[in-house]
Amino acid sequence: DIQMTQSPASLSASLEEIVTITCQASQDIGNWLAWYQQKPGKSPQLLIYDATSLADGVPSRFSGSRSGTQYSLKISRLQVEDIGSYYCQQAHSNPLTFGSGTKLEIK
Amino acid sequence: EVQLVESGGGLVQPGRSLKLSCAASGFTFSNYYMAWVRQAPKKGLEWVATISTSGSRTYYPDSVKGRFTISRDNAKSSLYLQMNSLKSEDTATYYCARRAANWVVFDYWGQGVMVTVSS
């Protein structure tokens, strides 16, 4: 199985700050990576697919990048509505696996 | 508007069975792979099952293989998850999710249904 190591587990940042979350894949998965946002008490929502492509309706302050087997989600200017948990997911092969999540709070 | 509405959750004893349903609307159900993803209380996301458009192909992780069965009824735009031999570690919120057309990602999710396995 492909392991996705996500960090940090939690993060506190100020409004307008740049936030970065990373996921390390245990093997080469190419661009087969997605990011999801889960607001408190809500279902997950797709943010990024194909490592760097923004899903429909997602604000442009969100972006994804890849360096080898390390993937990053960046929020360029943190907003109040961005609080919640974030998960990466490898889409390369079954079993599909998620990172352990990052809980983002406002400082 | 795409809508996925789960039902069938509840409290069940270990070793017993439960069947979840998901009613889909707002898109051509038969054109999409569908899946179930679960989330244990205060924990992360875990993929549970995927089914092809026709229902001829199904996929599961080892943690539920042989105990859970995913199925669909395209005429009713409905997805199902039959869960047998339930264990306490199956306690979670179960989400019905649509797999995106060209990517193995989940572009729409239901609101989730809670399953509690306890004596």
Mean pLDDT of the B29-46 span: 98
Low-confidence residues of chain A: pLDDT under 70: none
Rounded percentage of chain B residues whose pLDDT exceeds 90: 97
Percent share of chain B, pLDDT over 70: 100
pLDDT at B102 exceeding the cut of 90: no
What is the least distance, in Å, from the CA of B50 to any CA of chain A?
Answer: 10
Instruction: Work out the end-to-end distance of chain B between its first and last CA atoms, rounded to an integer number of angstroms.
Output: 40
Residue-level pLDDT at A24: 98
Q: Are A9 and A64 in contact (CB under 8 A)?
A: no
Q: Inform me whether the pLDDT recorded for B103 exceeds 90.
A: no
Nearest CA in chain B to A31: B103
Contacting residues for B75 by C-beta, under 8 A, at least 6 apart: none
Residues A63 and A76: beta-carbon distance below 8 Å: yes
Note the pLDDT tens digit of each residue in B42-93. 999 999 999 999 999 999 999 999 999 999 999 999 999 999 999 999 999 9
The mean per-residue pLDDT over the stretch B22-29 comes to 98
Tell me the residues of B at the A interface, defined by beta carbons under 8 Å apart: 37, 44-47, 50, 59-62, 95, 100, 103-107, 109-112
> Among candidates B109, B114, B111, B85, which has minimal Cα distance to B98?
B109
DSSP-based three-state secondary structure for A80? helix
A53, A90, A96, A100: best to mutate for the B interface, most B CBs within 10 A: A96
In this complex, the residue of B60, B103, B109 whose CB is nearest that of residue A49 is: B103
Residues in B closer than 8 angstroms to A94, CB to CB, are 50, 59, 61
Give the 3-state DSSP-derived string for chain B, with helices as H, strands as E and coil as C: CCEEEEECCEEECCCCCEEEEEEEECCCHHHCCEEEEEECCCCCEEEEEEECCCCCCEECCCCCCCCEEEEEECCCCEEEEEECCCCHHHCEEEEEEEECCCCCCEEEECCCEEEEECC
Spatial separation of the C-alpha atoms in residues B72 and A85, rounded to whole Å: 30
pLDDT of residue A42: 97
Q: How far apart are the first and last CA of chain A?
A: 36
Identify the bridge partners of residue B92 per DSSP, sorted by sequence position: B115
Mean confidence (pLDDT) of chain A: 97
Are B107 and A55 within 8 A, CB to CB? yes
